[in-house]
Amino acid sequence: MRLRLIIAAILLVFIALTVRIYYFSVKSGDYYAAVAQENVIKTRLIPPTRGQILDRNGEPLAINKLGFSISLEPHLEGAELENLVGKIANSFDELNSTKIIREYKRQNSPYNHEFISIVDFLDYNATTEKFTELNLDDRVRIAPSAQRHYPYNSLASHVIGYVGRVTQKDIDFDKNLTNIDYIGKSGVEGYYNKILQGEFGSRKTKVTVLNEVIEELEYVSPVSHDIKLSIDMRLQEFLRELFSDKAGAAIIIDVQTGEILASGSFPEYNLNPFVTGISSEDWAKIIEDLDHPFTNKMTSGLYPPGSVFKMGVGMSFLNSGLIDKDKTYACRGYIELGGRKFRCWRGGGHGKIDLISALRQSCDVYFYEGSLEVGIDFISEDLMRYGFGRKTGVDLMNEYIGTVPNKAWKREKYGKPWYNGETVNASIGQGDVLVTPMQVAKYTAQIASGKGIVPHYIKEIDEIPLESEDANLSAEMLNLKAKFAPFEVFTPFELSQLPYVREGMWGVANHPAGTTYKLLNDMSVKIAAKTGTAQVVFIPQNEIVRMRESDMEYYKRSQAWMTSYGPYEEPKYAVTVLVEHGGGGGKAAGPLVRAIFEKLLEMKYIKIPEPKPATPQKSKKKKK
């Protein structure tokens, strides 16, 4: 019995050993083969070169300067590290030994066997002089490198944007950025970062245990993408000249497609210092400037629109069915409401006035009376449909939506009821109404063309136009094409009423009673326009003689607007101008609008239709 137990135990041990040997020799074979494969096959990602940004004429707006980077072998210490870094730093004026050593030590570790990058970029010409000497040192590795560069410095800075170093916050948001050093931070650099970034390539090699390459197994080239914008840098330069002593914004937009031909937020700022990291002194100058150069006023600046709001309010009046184009109100210079007087800009009043003449002369009382009849909720719903109180969809980052107030909005924000006095203020673009210049440009273009448009700067990707009908367009292009396609914004009834609003805008510039007739009536190209003067500070309604804008402190003067489109008969471009603290819209913004249209004519972006030749009349033969 005992013998049987001993034999059984021996058999069990034998079986267990056999199973274990089978597992190590057969079952674990695939696993260890994979481990061995990892030891000998190495895959290295190859970053793509960031794509260029060009203007519509092929002028480079964002390029990559060629240069070199410097890396040091790991595990250097003490005097050896200090001497080597000192030698490199003494070769280039812009390098600092202390900073380089600190960065080296931060990346160095016993487990790191890769060269450590200490300098991302050095100018090509400066490096070539020292290249041979440094390259002879096996502890130093010099490799080709590129740095983003903006040839125009500050011109169109808010459109182009800039790149900056990837932060941990960026990586937390998008894990794919782990192997990227720089990404777009603003403007189209940020909005189209994924396209401009391109696609990584890879190199798969067989290496020894000492990391020596034996064989290249596979090579996939990285892919870069260039983009072309719709802006013309010659026009950008012209806008900058117009705003040389002013702050504000200007936008020139194609009313049929939404393409932006030129635009700017002023003052502008130099993009290049942001690539390598702007100094604290230069940053302080920017953020302490009271004209806010860092803010993109086109999309992130919020302003009361003043009277440029009146076309949309007038459209809502007609849409309500309560007011038609011929209905008149008597303007005696003010209305009384709740024991207060709400004044018209013309103290003596405009007399009996209808929609077209109210737009032409910018009568406030007409809009006071009409808004009380129609109601704020109906008006705000229409204005939001026309594009206010929501993003325009423009291809720039950090777009603000503004405010189109109504009863529900006030209840939610302040927990208070709505008053009729707020309705009349909102009807003339004052009170709580806030808009961006991009919203005003979009809405003006829609009035001109009768269709919804999405403002955009993208024109081509890799020389393929956005409007291409090629059936093999990439998914990215198809998405952009759909995003920026025109759409229906007005109802059939509204489309039938648009001519009356357009006629009112035409009268602003071309009718003797128009608010800018003297300035615009003799232009070579006939345009439709609307001025706006939006108060920055509260002016009591009981103040009979108001202080002139020119007598006010600069930052208390009104915002000056003019929005327009032309040519009137065959609209091509809408031009929206905002001059911060310019005072009267016609006086401050009007000359700029006129100059812009004259420039468009000079550059042949718009043409004056040739007059049709008169049909010759046949001479009548006299009867004999």
**pLDDT tens digits, residue range 282-315?**
999 999 999 999 999 999 999 999 999 999 999 9
Binned at pLDDT 50, 70 and 90, residue 613 comes out as: low
Residue 558 has pLDDT above 90, yes or no: no
Q: Are residues 324 and 406 in the same domain?
A: yes
d(CA 574, CA 395): 18
Q: Are residues 324 and 444 in the same domain?
A: yes
pLDDT of residue 93: 75
Q: Are residues 550 and 581 in the same domain?
A: yes
pTM for the full model? 0.86
Q: Is residue 522 part of a domain?
A: yes
Q: Are residues 269 and 205 in the same domain?
A: no
Q: Is residue 412 part of a domain?
A: yes
Binned at pLDDT 50, 70 and 90, residue 210 comes out as: low
d(CA 383, CA 308): 12
Residue 543 has pLDDT above 50, yes or no: no
Each residue of 490-512: pLDDT tens digit? Answer: 999 999 999 999 999 999 999 99
Percent composition of the chain: helix, strand, coil (DSSP 3-state, to 5):
40, 20, 40
Residue 177 has pLDDT above 50, yes or no: yes
- At position 551, the amino acid (one-letter code) is D
Each residue of 559-590: pLDDT tens digit? Answer: 999 999 999 999 999 999 999 988 877 889 99
Q: Which residues of 23-56 are buried (b: 16+ CB within 10 A; e: fewer)?
A: eeeeeeeeeeeeeeeeeeeeeeeebbebbbbbbb
Task: Give the DSSP letter of residue 390.
Answer: S
Q: What is the DSSP string of 67-78?
A: EEEEEE-S---H
> What is the domain-level CATH number for residue 544?
3.40.710.10
Cβ pair 142, 127 in contact under 8 A:
yes
Q: Are residues 160 and 256 in the same domain?
A: no
Q: Is residue 610 part of a domain?
A: no
Q: Are residues 219 and 237 in the same domain?
A: no
Instruction: Give the residue from 391, 384, 386 showing the smallest Cα distance to 405.
Output: 384
Position with higher pLDDT, 468 vs 16: 468
> What is the domain-level CATH number for residue 51?
3.90.1310.10
Residue 595: strand, helix, or coil: helix
Q: Are residues 456 and 572 in the same domain?
A: yes
Intra-chain end-to-end CA distance of the chain, in Å: 157
Cβ pair 170, 189 in contact under 8 A:
no
Q: What is the mean pLDDT of residues 327-346?
A: 93
Q: Is residue 317 part of a domain?
A: yes
CB atoms within 10 A of CB 201: 15
Q: Is residue 38 part of a domain?
A: no
Peptide bond into 267 cis (omega under 30): yes
Q: Is residue 29 part of a domain?
A: no
Q: Is residue 183 part of a domain?
A: yes
Residue 163: give the domain boundaries. 44-229
Binned at pLDDT 50, 70 and 90, residue 32 comes out as: low
Q: Give the residue ranges of DSSP H helices in 363-491.
A: 364-374, 376-386, 407-414, 420-427, 437-449, 475-483
Q: Are residues 188 and 306 in the same domain?
A: no
Q: Give the residue ranges of DSSP H helices in 64-115.
A: 78-91, 97-107
Indicate the burial class of 287 (C-beta count within 10 angstroms; 0-12, 13-18, 19 or more). exposed
pLDDT of residue 127: 76
Q: What is the DSSP string of 147-200?
A: EEE-TTTTTTHHHH--EEE--HHHHHH-GGGGG-SEEE-SHHHHHTHHHHH-B-
Q: Are residues 402 and 266 in the same domain?
A: yes
How many structural domains is the chain composed of?
2
For the chain, helix (H) and strand (E) counts, in that order, are 24, 21
Looking up tokens 């033969």 gives 621
Binned at pLDDT 50, 70 and 90, residue 85 comes out as: confident
Query: Taking all residues of the chain, what is their mean pLDDT, rounded to a whole number?
Result: 88
Looking up tokens 């709505």 gives 418
Cβ pair 337, 420 in contact under 8 A:
yes
Distance set, CA 301 to CA 188, 399, 523 (Å): 18, 9, 31
Cβ pair 146, 67 in contact under 8 A:
yes
Q: Is residue 361 part of a domain?
A: yes
